């Protein structure tokens, strides 16, 4: 029997490489597309060449294509050759600051690239499950949410109803458990050019499901992390924080008193969600929030304290009283919709486990 085929874009990146390993271990023929664009975006810190070599050494049925999503002809050719059963679209330009400085590049990587891949899939693999790795940054007025200031974090108002900004409390799609899929996509403080382009690609994927009956699903991830990350200052906060600690770099805490709050999800848990939707595709054009949820929420201050305690050293840190462009004050993913539709999925990696894994991964890479 011929093995099923899966096409993974951004296959040398964090989620892409985890997907390669997972589907390879399940007996799939895995084809990856990656041009190491992350190195071009972020310099040497973003270089993923080491991860490609790791994949080649750890897989049995993996083929890598060096290609650019912006090349429509190349996407058509690869899709025609492979005819995948599943397409996992992870490739992106993922940083707010880069998008603000290079909006045309950001648009064509994140929007045109997605369109090219959807068209290639529509032409040659109409029955394939198309998983678009979207982003929590598609949501607009996140920084207009009410919040509380606690000793080590900002947070959403507690269930007792306490609010410091009650005038904004009528926004739909959120609770103390986090933001759900009904939160507005309209422009707002915190979305920026990057989030707008990811929203455009997200909507495209949805529309191809509705208009053409393709099995598209958007997974809106938040703060995905793991030792396969190639973190840079402008992207990958938890992994970059660990990198600065291990390598003795100075870490800049950018604004919000270091109390900005995120839920983090290990790449293994995110790709487990991908596998679920590939195994049992939802209705075309479906959308889900995928993150670590409230139990995996952590602020920068809290993450620093945890990593320092685990590593047994102090981080060289300085505070800059200017938030990173597009930085959310508080974001927590409400994953109840996905857990309802896929009850066998759950978060298996806690924040302490994630931090330990990041430190171990950095140690291992330093020894090679």
Of 22-36, 68-82, 228-242, 330-344, the one with minimum mean pLDDT is 228-242
pLDDT of residue 169: 63
Q: Which are the catalytic amino acids? A: 147
- Where along the chain do its domains lie? 5-367
CB-based burial of residue 215 (10 Å sphere; 0-12 exposed, 13-18 middle, 19+ buried)?
A: buried
Higher pLDDT, 14 or 162: 14
pTM equals: 0.95
- How far from the centroid of its chain's Cα atoms is residue 191's Cα? 15
Does 234 score more than 50 pLDDT?
Answer: yes
d(CA 247, CA 28): 37
Share of the chain above pLDDT 90, in %: 86
> Could you give the CA distance from residue 97 to residue 203 in angstroms, rounded to a whole number?
22
Judged against a pLDDT cut of 70, whether residue 318 lies above it is answered with yes
DSSP type of residue 91: -
Confidence of residue 364 (pLDDT cuts 50, 70, 90): confident
Mean pLDDT of the 197-226 span: 97
What homologous superfamily is domain 5-367 in, according to CATH? NAD(P)-binding Rossmann-like Domain (3.40.50.720)
- pLDDT of residue 173 exceeding 50: yes
Q: Is 236 left (phi over 0), alpha (psi -120 to 50) or beta?
A: left
Distance between CA 206 and CA 175 in Å, rounded? Answer: 25
Report the C-alpha gap between 355 and 233 in whole angstroms.
17
Task: Provide mean pLDDT across the span 240-247.
Answer: 95
- Quick check: 66 pLDDT over 50? yes
Strands (E), the chain: 5-9, 29-33, 62-65, 86-89, 129-135, 148-149, 154-155, 174-175, 178-179, 215-221, 224-225, 250-254, 261-263, 265-266, 286-290, 297-299, 316-320, 330-331
DSSP 230: -
What average pLDDT does this structure show over 292-299?
97
**How does residue 166 score in pLDDT terms, banded at 50, 70 and 90?**
very low
pLDDT at 160: 65
Whether the Cβ atoms of residue 147 and residue 165 lie closer than 8 Å to each other = yes
């Amino acid at each position: 029997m011929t093995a099923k085929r899966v096409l993974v874009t951004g296959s040398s990146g964090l989620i892409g490489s985890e997907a390669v390993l997972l589907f390879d271990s399940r007996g799939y023929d895995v084809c990856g597309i990656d041009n190491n664009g992350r190195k071009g975006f972020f310099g040497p810190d973003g270089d993923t060449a080491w991860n490609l070599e790791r994949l080649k050494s750890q897989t049995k049925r993996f083929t890598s294509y060096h290609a650019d999503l912006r090349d429509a002809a190349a996407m058509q050719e690869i899709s025609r050759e492979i005819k995948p059963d599943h397409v996992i679209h992870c490739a992106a330009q993922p940083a707010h600051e880069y998008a603000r400085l290079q909006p045309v590049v950001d648009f064509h990587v994140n929007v045109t690239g997605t369109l090219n891949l959807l068209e290639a899939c529509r032409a040659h693999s109409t029955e394939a499950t198309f998983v678009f790795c979207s982003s929590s940054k598609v949501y607009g007025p996140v920084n207009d949410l009410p919040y509380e200031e606690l000793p080590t974090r900002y947070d959403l108002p507690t269930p007792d109803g306490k609010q410091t900004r009650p005038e904004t409390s009528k926004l739909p799609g959120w609770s103390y458990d986090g933001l759900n899929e009904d939160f507005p996509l309209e422009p707002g403080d915190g979305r920026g050019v990057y989030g707008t382009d990811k929203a455009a690609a997200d909507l495209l994927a949805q529309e191809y499901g509705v208009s053409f009956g393709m099995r598209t699903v958007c997974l809106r991830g938040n703060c995905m992390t793991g030792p396969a990350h190639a973190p840079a200052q402008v992207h990958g906060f938890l992994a970059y924080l660990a990198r600065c600690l291990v390598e003795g770099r100075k870490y800049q805490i950018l604004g919000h008193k270091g109390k900005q709050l995120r839920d983090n999800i290990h790449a293994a848990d995110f790709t487990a969600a991908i596998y679920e939707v590939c195994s049992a595709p939802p209705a075309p054009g479906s959308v889900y929030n995928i993150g670590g949820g409230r139990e995996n929420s952590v602020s920068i201050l809290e993450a620093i304290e945890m990593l320092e305690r685990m590593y047994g050293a102090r981080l060289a840190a300085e505070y800059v009283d200017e938030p990173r462009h597009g930085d959310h004050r508080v974001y927590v993913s409400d994953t109840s919709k996905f857990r309802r539709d896929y009850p066998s999925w759950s978060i298996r990696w806690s924040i302490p486990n994630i931090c330990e894994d990041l430190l171990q991964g950095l140690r291992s890479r330093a020894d090679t």
